[in-house]
Structure 1
Amino acid sequence: MDPYELLGVSRDADDAAIKKAYRSLARKYHPDVNPDEASQEKFKEISHAYEILSDPQKRAAYDRGGDMGFGFGGGAGAGAGFSFTDIMDAFFGGQGGGGTSSGRGPRTRTRRGQDALVGLEIDLAEAAFGASHEMTLDTAVVCETCHGDGAAPGSKPVTCETCHGAGEVAHVQRSFLGEIRTLRPCAACRGFGTIIPDPCRDCGGDGRVRTRRTLTIKVPAGVDSGTRLQLTGQGEVGPGGGPAGDLYVELRVARHPIFTRQGGDLHCTVTVPMTAAALGTVLTMPTLEADLVSEDFTPETPTSFDLEVKPGTQPGSEQVLRGLGVPGLHGRGRGDLVVTVLVETPTGLDEQQAELLAQLAKLRDEEHPAGSIKATKQGLFGRIRDVFGEH
């Protein structure tokens, strides 16, 4: 029978469609579900069909007219339908004519689980100073009913009657090299050497179930968006109750209402009236530690500081406060806090205010200022444009 017809897929089906079709049929005809002979024979046929169509070399050989063990196809020569892997396996890894077993034996049902990746959003203060977060995850854990072996309580796996526990069966085919015998995973037991006649009802014989569990994630101080934390052995439990993979937690730092982060430095802006910039003033500014204050915790470092705006401060001037930025990873120093001062020009002046400003302008001889005209400082892109002669 045509393997495409056996799996119910078109000849241009991709790997995903072929795998989906095979899994659907395998669940229906698997010996663990339907132990009758007709179902076992059907399962062998669809497994052989999947073996061909899932292998790019074998599929290409079949599409060219190779037999591939289905008893049809002709016209491609005596050697059609055999991949290089089949031939090499026969001579070096399988059973040659009259040879002995390769000794590979059945494969284990217990395998390592997959790694998992989850995201976690944290505050800027938590990224800077560290924190602990509880996360609820939906992951695979060992089935408590069967303890991972996949068999219902009171039962156990039995030796496969097809391969007699070897996990492999020999296939004999003829080619231009003569008779070739190759070892392939047993389709009846899927290469395990045993069959579970009474699968666990909770896990369906897989040895694991999905459930929700809570983990405490410890975020170290100094992390940033994109940092990944590795929690060894906290990922998915493997089939057959195998060891769990690792869990990776990717951090994303939420936007802060005051501070922006640039590496280890924090930046913020403060806007003062024109009069304050001219006469000078002192402002109380918060530090990032202010976000840590709670009913049961007060940080040891200051939560605020006095920012002195000196008389005559110009718009855009910066003040750098050393050591008030973000701590480095593993306690490697600490960045700075950079405060940019913006000056607000008054609008909507009433008659008295306008008169006072006019008197000030007269006193400063600024009633008809000429202004200071200078060339604008070019940025990087402006200099590149001039080099390449763009106008």
Structure 2
Amino acid sequence: FGGGFGAGAVQGGDVAVAVEISLAEAATGKSVEVDYESVERCERCHGNRAEPGTPIEQCPRCGGSGQLQSMARTAFGQMVRTQACDTCGGTGDRIEKSCTECAGRGVRAQRKTLSVDIPAGIADEQRIRVTGRGHAGERGGPEGDLYVLVRVAEDARFIRDGNDLVSVVDVPAPAAALGTTLSVPTLDGDQDIEVAAGTQPGEVKVLRGQGMPDVRRGRRGDHRVIVNVVIPRKLSRLQRDALEAFQATLTEENLAEAREEGLFAKVRRALR
């Protein structure tokens, strides 16, 4: 079968780099330029270590195998020990004149810049594998791979929960009691949501299909907006008198729905 690698071929090592993108960029996908250093096959000698036009001979000591074997007697019987040839260093050949570009190493360090496509929906700490972009192989071996570690920076507006996004909107207590319309930030821009009269602390408004896309299927998750009813801490005398007057008007009917809700239901609503 063709397409194989020669005897003694060693695959090149992998290279790892890290990039950071914003949550918004993770939602849409992004092409980033990564800069890294890798060991590349010498372009002058094409990795054979010899100056072009000079002969390359088979190593007379190992016969081109690059290895030497020796027999040793032990208490457990005869054992064969294999080691790299001390004449050719394990290459299996002998060069007359070393390449002037790489000093006979066959490889040289080189800085590279590569454009890498980050798919929409990628999560923090996920890696992207770019095949064949790592270090050059030895003795005709294949190149290693490039691994790009993607870090998604935190966004002060959202918390990511899988493909869902979670945010919190503050609603003053009177507005929660009377009902109001509020503008909340989403990945697609600010959006108005309706806060119904009598909204309780911890209630959740779900914006369907406005979360992060699934990195494989592309379908977007949801955006859950948690309503944080803000109770005022400092009141003027006028405000206190108004609240006391309002409190005096409350009846069982005003509080019936909140009291009928069980303790565990309240806890689940606060944590979901």
What is the TM-score when the length of structure 1 is the normalising length? 0.57
Aligned-pair CA distance for 1:165: 4.3
Aligned-pair CA distance for 1:196: 3.2
Aligned-pair CA distance for 1:342: 0.5
RMSD of aligned C-alpha atoms? 3.5
Greater Rg by CA: 1
Matched with 1:316 is: 202
Task: Label 1:125 to 1:170 Cα distance change in 2 as closer, same or farther (>3 A).
Answer: closer
Task: Label 1:157 to 1:325 Cα distance change in 2 as closer, same or farther (>3 A).
Answer: same
Q: How many percent of aligned residue pairs carry the same amino acid? A: 39
Of 153, 160, 170, the match for 1:254: 153
Q: Distance in 1 between matches of 2:69 and 2:168?
A: 77
Deviations 1:291-346 (Å, cap 9, x if unpaired)? xxxxxxxxxxxx23211111111111111111111112334422111100001111
Any conservation in 1 of the 2:163–2:212 contact (CA below 8 Å)?
yes
Unaligned runs of 5+ in 2: 1-5
Describe how 1:274-353 pairs up with structure 2 within 5 A.
Answer: 274-289=173-188, 303-353=189-239
Matched with 2:112 is: 213
Q: Secondary structure of the equivalent of 1:245?
A: coil
Matched with 2:88 is: 189
Any conservation in 1 of the 2:157–2:185 contact (CA below 8 Å)?
no
Any conservation in 2 of the 1:108–1:192 contact (CA below 8 Å)?
no
More strand as a share of residues: 2
Find out whether 1:116 has 2:15 as its counterpart. Answer: yes
Aligned-pair CA distance for 1:111: 3.2
More helix as a share of residues: 1
Matched with 1:26 is: none
Q: One-letter code of the match for 1:343?
A: V
Task: Label 1:372 to 1:236 Cα distance change in 2 as closer, same or farther (>3 A).
Answer: same
Any conservation in 2 of the 1:231–1:247 contact (CA below 8 Å)?
yes
Q: One-letter code of the match for 1:138?
A: E
Q: Distance in 1 between matches of 2:80 and 2:177?
A: 95
Aligned-pair CA distance for 1:264: 1.5
Any conservation in 2 of the 1:147–1:241 contact (CA below 8 Å)?
no
Describe how 1:362-377 pairs up with structure 2 within 5 A.
Answer: 362-364=248-250, 377=264
Task: Label 1:221 to 1:375 Cα distance change in 2 as closer, same or farther (>3 A).
Answer: closer
Task: Label 1:206 to 1:332 Cα distance change in 2 as closer, same or farther (>3 A).
Answer: same
RCO higher in structure (CA 8 A, sep ≥6): 2
- Point out the more displaced range, 172-181 or 145-154: 172-181
- Point out the more displaced range, 160-169 or 274-283: 160-169
Q: Distance in 2 between matches of 1:281 and 1:177?
A: 87
Of 259, 268, 272, the match for 2:171: 272
Matched with 2:35 is: 136
User: How many residue pairs align between the two structures?
Assistant: 258
Q: One-letter code of the match for 2:242?
A: L
Aligned-pair CA distance for 1:153: 4.8
Q: One-letter code of the match for 1:128?
A: A
- Point out the more displaced range, 317-326 or 221-230: 221-230
